[in-house]
Amino acid sequence: MTAYFKSLHPWRATRLLMALGVLFTVFFFVQCQTGSKLPPGDPDNGGLYLPDGFDALVVVDSLNGYARHLAVNDNGDIYVKVRLHARTDGYGNIAMRDLDNDGKADSIVYFSKYESGQYGTAMRIHNGYLYFSSNLIVYRYKLKPGQLVPDSKLDTIVIDNPPSHAHQTKPVAFDGQGNMYVGWGAGSDDCSDGQPGSKGQGVADPATPGEGCPQLLDHGGIWKFNENTLNQRQEDGTRYATGLRSIVGMEWDSNSNSLYAVSHGRDNFKMLWPGMYSPWESAVLPAEELFRVHEGLDGGWPYYYYDQIQGKKLLNPEYGGNKNEANGGKLTKPIVGFPGHFAPNDLLFYKGNQFPARYKEGVFVALHGSTNRAPYPQAGYIIAFVPMKDGAASGPWEVFADGFAGLDTIVSNSDAHYRPMGLAEGPDGSIYVSDTEQGRVWRIMYKGDKDGFGEAQLAKMAERKATAANIKDPDPVADNLDRGRPVDAAAVYMMYCRACHQRDGKGDGGRFPPLEKSEWVNGDKTRLINVVLNGLSGPITVRGLPYEEPMPAHGSFLNDAQVAEVLTYVRSNFGNTSSPVTADEVAAVRKETAK
């Protein structure tokens, strides 16, 4: 080699050496980014419990703004979608880069100001573009190689009609054939007015769409669009699937050439139908569903729900059901029915080579965690794994990562330290997980013997699934957190308010606002009484944060004394020290609003 260089003209030798240097630099960078040398995990795995052979590190401890979905580029750059509020100074996206290959984010840049809203969710990289969404709009930027923050023109791809409402999350997926799929959640539990015993709008099993729930005309499903056409409206797309209440996670799997989605089930069996469903049934039912979505799929909402214990689609009581199947047997069943209220918010089909082979065809699911399992412990807050073969589950779902919540028994969801939200695969086959509470991001890596990985390495995770309070089905008696508690002044609150605002009055950090030190609670009595009697449609701002979930009217089933009782309880608890509300004050507001 030395003789060869000596034989060259000096300027040619210099240029060749420079070229070799560039190639060596590129090779070294790629090797660092693609897993030839993984960074060390944190001593405590960032607080996570993982199967043997895996470890984890915290990429970033906390980001301003609640982190939603995330994406990782080919060079290792990480992009995070955040729920927009004051702490982000109006920015809806975050870009991060590891500058010294230790696995930690050194450069963190907030970028792109747009109307994000409470449920803005998507963050995906596809064909050199960064796609992300607000409640109502799907956007994209063209990414430039090596550039962390895009400075290209912001494209608007799909536009929804205002006003915004709950469950408008706008997840996106791509089939590799030029099509983009967008979820359109429905802003309702059951297509009723949300009061106990109410009937659903329309008829069950309608012959035509107009006879059923009107929300299904333009919500509660998935629409297909051209990924490169700008400024499309819903009517420019094609309805691909229907009967899906709230789709937050969605992905196209190239192996099975199919779309997959996770759908949130309904809530509030106990509150709305106390004579039909026990508190235990309301805690564990209905299932959260993982679907393989074919064109024309009907998931059954709002007419039917999936009972994962019986493995059946059952007719909802709002449409005359009494835990009976009716025509539910004709509907497509999910691949997996996770326990009720686990809140599946993202899914990831693993394509890398870092993890053992058994993970190659399966799907990871981020289970954000429940808000309304009371009087039983809140549950979920894990990453699950579903082994798959030929597009179907090849075994029961498994616990892949636990420990996010940081405690064993979660009474209120605000007790959880972290809640897993988004999933993304890095160029080296590591998996990244985002959190909504502090904005933490983890990187999960495998460093064990891939060929020897099997049941022995999974044993402790199987034990957690069977025994952990945040995962197992609760014992109807022993796990009832209200067992032995006397009935007190909080009875009305516990029955009708706790599911949303939580036992501690702190809300759920996303959908339902806090009552703790709230200006709505401690402010004008008349306004507060009116909210309970007549309900409230968002958006509203509470303690500086936006909330859009509707508050149903309670005046038709709570009398004046009960309304006064619950408001007095709320105004004297949760850090509130305001004066009581009397039955006469409630009666006066009821009379005035009835005019």
> How do residues 434-488 score in pLDDT, each as one tens digit?
999 999 999 999 999 999 999 999 999 999 999 999 999 999 999 999 887 665 6
Highest mean pLDDT of the ranges 142-151, 188-197, 486-495, 501-510? 142-151
What confidence score (pLDDT) does residue 487 get? 53
pLDDT in tens, 161-205: 887 777 788 999 999 999 999 999 998 889 998 889 999 999 999
pLDDT confidence bin for 145, thresholds 50/70/90: very high
What confidence score (pLDDT) does residue 591 get? 87
pTM of the model: 0.86
Residues of the chain with pLDDT > 70: what percent?
92
What confidence score (pLDDT) does residue 245 get? 95
Answer whether 564's CB lies under 8 Å from 506's CB. Answer: no
Residue 89 has pLDDT above 90, yes or no: no
Cα gap 102→231, rounded to integer Å: 41
- 400, containing H or E segment: strand 398-401
Answer whether 335's CB lies under 8 Å from 258's CB. Answer: no
pLDDT confidence bin for 35, thresholds 50/70/90: very low
Can you give the three-state secondary structure of 149-189, one letter per residue?
A: CCCCCCEEEEECCCCCCCCCCCCEEECCCCEEEEEECCCCC
pLDDT confidence bin for 545, thresholds 50/70/90: confident
Q: 191: left (phi > 0), else alpha (psi -120 to 50), else beta?
A: left
What confidence score (pLDDT) does residue 194 get? 85
Cα gap 218→209, rounded to integer Å: 10
What confidence score (pLDDT) does residue 188 get? 87
What confidence score (pLDDT) does residue 26 get? 39
Mean pLDDT of the chain: 90
The CA-atom distances, in angstroms, between 360 and each of 10, 292, 347, 355, 401 are: 51, 17, 14, 8, 17
Contacts of 50 (CB under 8 A, 6+ apart): 56, 400, 401, 444, 461
Q: Region 536-546: what's the mean pLDDT?
A: 82
Contacts of 97 (CB under 8 A, 6+ apart): 76, 77, 78, 105, 106, 107, 148
What confidence score (pLDDT) does residue 117 get? 67
What confidence score (pLDDT) does residue 285 get? 98
What confidence score (pLDDT) does residue 5 get? 38
* Pairing, β 398-401 against β 382-386: antiparallel
End-to-end Cα distance, the chain: 97
324 versus 490: the higher-pLDDT residue is 324
pLDDT confidence bin for 544, thresholds 50/70/90: confident
What confidence score (pLDDT) does residue 395 get? 95
8 versus 22: the higher-pLDDT residue is 8
Contacts of 568 (CB under 8 A, 6+ apart): 489, 580, 581
pLDDT in tens, 339-356: 999 999 999 999 999 999
What confidence score (pLDDT) does residue 16 get? 45
Q: Which amino acid is at 185?
A: G
Cα gap 523→367, rounded to integer Å: 36
